[in-house]
Each structure stands twice: as C-alpha cells, then as structure tokens.
Chain A
Amino acid sequence: MLDWKMDFTWEILPRLLLAAGNTMLAAGGGYAVAVVLGLVFALAQRTRSRTLTFIVRELVEFIRSTPLLLQIFFIFYVGPQFGLRLSPWAAGLIAIGLHYAAYLSEVYRGGIENVPKGQWEAARAINLSTVTTYRRIIIPQALPPALAGMGNYLVGIFKDTPMLSVIGVAELMHTANSIGAENFRYLEPYTIVGLIFLAISLPTAWLIRRFETALRRKMGLTR
C-alpha cells in the first residue's frame, strides 16, 4: 500500500539527524535571545519613562501583529539596504529571537503583575533597592507562573524553525526538502522530520511541567 523504502530511510537518516541538531541549535539560540530580550522588553515597560514604555509597547505590538515569515525575510533581504548584512543563521536567530521576545515579554509582564503589591511594599519596608527587589523578590515569584507560558513558546519556537529554511538555514525542513528534490522522494524525509519533531516536542513539554512543579516545591510556593 504505502511505498515506504527502508534502505532509503537508513540512507537519509544520518543527514536528517544532523539537521535536527541544527534545528535544536536554532531553536535554542533563538530562545536564548528571546528569553533575555523579552525580559528587557517587559522591564522597559515598567520604568517611569512614559516615552520608553510607549516605544517598547508599540514595538511589541508591531512584532506580535506581523507574521514571523515576513520578519525573517525583512531582516535578511531588506536589512542589507540599511547596512545590516547578516548570514542566514544570524538573521534567522535575530528574527525568531525578536519575535518570541515580544511574546515572552507579555508572559513576563503577566507573571510580574501577578506578584501581590504587598511584596513590593515589604521589600521597600526593608529598604531593598529596586534592582534587588526585582532580582530577589519579584522575578523569583513571577517565574513559576510564567514557566508554563515560557514552555509553550519554547515548543513554539522549535516548531517555527522550519521558517528559517526560506533563507537557507540548513535545519530539518530545509534538509528534508533538499533530500526530496535530489531523490524525487518526499514520503520518507517528511515523515521522519515529523517524527523527530514529535520526539523532541513531547518530552520537552513534559519536562517543563515537571520542572515547574519542582521549582514551586523548592521555593516553598506550594503547601
């Protein structure tokens, strides 16, 4: 019924696994950018400067309301006109990192706003500086509830890495396409790509949930 070729499968598997490494690198790198930049976006919207808050707020809105694919193309193909000449990898990581930073900043903001006002007041009553208050009191409490959202976006960024294939990053999708075009066979490469995605996404989501529970317990946030 299905014309699945086992020897072809074995032949292309190493190449695909190698590409899976690239996919994870792209997802991990992009996520690292997003995690840090997202926090910057979130905190920038909480400063006393109305101008800064406004600019960052609008930037986040803009990023969230335009397609990632467009942002990737824009940075890679239009960037050079502004003197920004980037490799596919660099452009890809910046685009995907920036995109997810916008989403993560909302997750952080939600987490931070969920910390009761009394925590800020107690921190002030023992005279902690603003930076120390964030670092020691607010962010540790904002983290566990934000973790679920952060985990979703980690899986999300991972699933979005195929978009980087359009600018030539040799990740899974790109490699599967090449294999398909070279051999005129798409069934095996695409199926394997799907399975690899599944094999990474599912345990990641599970691990994040475990991590969240463990973190809450360690912090004494559950009874």
Chain B
Amino acid sequence: MKHDKRHDLSQYPLRLEGDNVPMVRFQNVTKRYGSLTVLDGLNLDVAEGEMVTIIGPSGSGKTTVLRMLMTLETIDSGVIYVDGEPLTHMEKNGRLVRANAAHLRLIRSKIGMCFQHFNLFPHMTALGNCIEGPMQVLGLSKQEAEERALELLDLVGMADKRDQHPSRLSGGQQQRVAIARALAMRPKVMLFDEVTSALDPEVISEVTGVIRGLVDQHNLTMLMVTHQIGFAREISDRICLFFDGKIEEQGSPEMLLDNPQNERTQQFLSAVLEAN
C-alpha cells in the first residue's frame, strides 16, 4: 500500500505550468472511509473564474469533494492542485511527499468555504466573525480588518446587523455573514456546500442573490454543491453530476439539463424536478 503510493506519486507533476493552468485540479483522487470508497479516481479541473456546480443524489460524494479541497479531509490517493501548486502534497528533493501542516496552511489560504449550517462563531458578533481571520491570520490591524469587514457585510446586505450575535440572526442572515467571513480572507476559490439547504424557502433568495452577485463582481473561482437546479442553471458555467463517487456526466447547464446523454442523469433530473 505504502509502496504503491510512493510509486504512484512520480506520475504527478510537481506543479502545473504553462497556459491554462486550472485554479483547481483533482487528479485521480480517491477517498475512502474504511472499506467504503467515497470518491474513486476523481479527475476534475476548475478554471480560474469558473463557476462549477456539483449536483447529484445524497451520498454521492459531493460534500467530500469540497471538504477535501478545504483540507477538512485527507485523501487516500491522487493529488489536488490549487493555483498550480500541489495542495495535498509538497515538493521535497524533487519529489512529491505528503503535505505538512505548514504547507497545508499556506495553500489553504487561497480557499474559503461556506457550510450548510453556517458555522458562525456564536460568541462573536457579525463583525467579530468577519475580522477574526483577517486579524489573527492576515495580521491586519483592527481598523483595517473592520473596514474590510464592513465593506463585505455591506456587500451581503448585513452592515446594519454588524453588532448582532448569530443567535439573533435568521438563517439567511447568518449565511450571508458566513459568506462575508469567508470573503474577508480574500480567497481565490470559494466553496459553497448546500448553503441554502437549511434555510426556509422564503429566505433562500437572500443567499442566492449574494452568490449571484459574486459571480458578477469578483473574479472568483467557485465550486458549489446545491439541489437548486434552477439556480445552478442560471449561474453555472458548468454542472457536474455525481453518482457513486464519480462524475457521471458534465457540461454546460443547457447541455446537461436540457439534453442529458446519460440514463442515470435523466432519472436524477426528473426525480429532482418532480420533487421541486
């Protein structure tokens, strides 16, 4: 097993170079939980500024893709690259070895993530949530951090709630603060994991509106998991349909949603459309 891995790694480049280096590359990535193979040799590139949406049935590995990229999960084989640099590995004496904590931290700084259940820090205000990373990690002064945070809270329409703790905010409001908190770290890649799934239907548009704005305003690379097919169609450059830890089919929204080639894709889509 160990031997295999070492042998394997020689096939992966130390870094991605040339034109068209993707912002994110999953190269032959496998993830297992015990005997369960959750992702099986995943290959996925996301170009800079691209908005890629992942859809698929529950348990197909969508969340795991984002969590691996956020380094919340380790991977079992393959390499993930971010902005041309390996994330899960690092170069040592001309070879790739498993990334250490310092390397993970360095590359992770390019990635931000929003969670289904927001995960705001409950003991801090909306503003406090948004200045924590910039002050503790980026070394900004309190004033600089607050200026930046207020701009972003304004962007997500939460500036007037800056002094509220999360327990005083609705789900939609919390999620918008969470988006501001992630953006305050100036990530190049933003990950959204079912950020509207825990919300009441009437506030979903608060959050999708903010994400739509990000597509227009920032040249962010985004990777989003959602069950909202309509929203995905509207803002995605590309949609990937996951099935059993593999990309079953992918393409532009029109291609995938209107003219799915694959039988399982058709079944999934009709099931989802029926549910809506």
Residues of chain A having any CB pair with chain B under 8 Å: 116, 118-119, 121-122, 124-129, 132, 136-137, 140-141, 219-223
Q: Contact at B72–A121, with CB atoms within 8 Å?
A: yes
Tell me if B132 counts as interface (CB < 8 A to partner A): yes
Q: Contact at B121–A223, with CB atoms within 8 Å?
A: no
A selection of 11 A-B contacts at a CB cut-off of 8 Å is A121-B72, A122-B121, A125-B70, A125-B182, A127-B109, A127-B137, A127-B185, A128-B133, A140-B123, A220-B167, A221-B122
- Known pairs A121-B72, A220-B125, A222-B167; A126 contacts B119 (CB<8 A): no
A141 to B72, CA, bound (A): 21
> For A132, what are the chain B residues with a Cβ–Cβ distance below 8 Å?
136-137
Chain A minimum-CB-distance residue to B117: A118
Tell me if B264 counts as interface (CB < 8 A to partner A): no
Most buried by B among A116, A136, A222: A136
A129 to B168, CA, bound (A): 28
> For A126, what are the chain B residues with a Cβ–Cβ distance below 8 Å?
112, 132-133, 137, 181-182, 184-185
A116 to B181, CA, bound (A): 18
Q: Contact at A125–B113, with CB atoms within 8 Å?
A: yes
Residues of chain B having any CB pair with chain A under 8 Å: 70-72, 105, 108-109, 111-113, 115, 117, 119-125, 132-133, 136-137, 165-168, 178, 181-182, 184-185
Chain B minimum-CB-distance residue to A124: B72
A28 to B119, CA, bound (A): 37
Most buried by A among B72, B108, B113, B122: B122
Q: Contact at B133–A127, with CB atoms within 8 Å?
A: yes
- Known pairs A121-B72, A220-B122; A128 contacts B136 (CB<8 A): yes
Chain B minimum-CB-distance residue to A121: B72
CB distance from A112 to the nearest CB of B (A): 14
Q: Contact at A121–B167, with CB atoms within 8 Å?
A: no
Most buried by B among A119, A140, A220: A220
Q: Contact at B133–A220, with CB atoms within 8 Å?
A: no
A14 to B3, CA, bound (A): 78
> A124's contact among B71, B117, B167, B184, by CB below 8 Å, is which?
B71
> For B119, what are the chain A residues with a Cβ–Cβ distance below 8 Å?
116, 118-119, 121-122
> For B109, what are the chain A residues with a Cβ–Cβ distance below 8 Å?
127
A131 to B185, CA, bound (A): 19
CB distance from B95 to the nearest CB of A (A): 25
> For B105, what are the chain A residues with a Cβ–Cβ distance below 8 Å?
127, 129
Chain B minimum-CB-distance residue to A140: B123
> B121's contact among A119, A127, A129, A222, by CB below 8 Å, is which?
A119
A122 to B70, CA, bound (A): 10
Most buried by A among B109, B115, B121, B165: B121
CB distance from B118 to the nearest CB of A (A): 8
> A122's contact among B71, B115, B168, B184, by CB below 8 Å, is which?
B115
> For A222, what are the chain B residues with a Cβ–Cβ distance below 8 Å?
167
Q: Report the 4 A-B pairs with minimum CB-CB distance, sorted nearest first.
A: A220-B165, A126-B133, A122-B119, A118-B119
A140 to B178, CA, bound (A): 19
CB distance from B249 to the nearest CB of A (A): 29
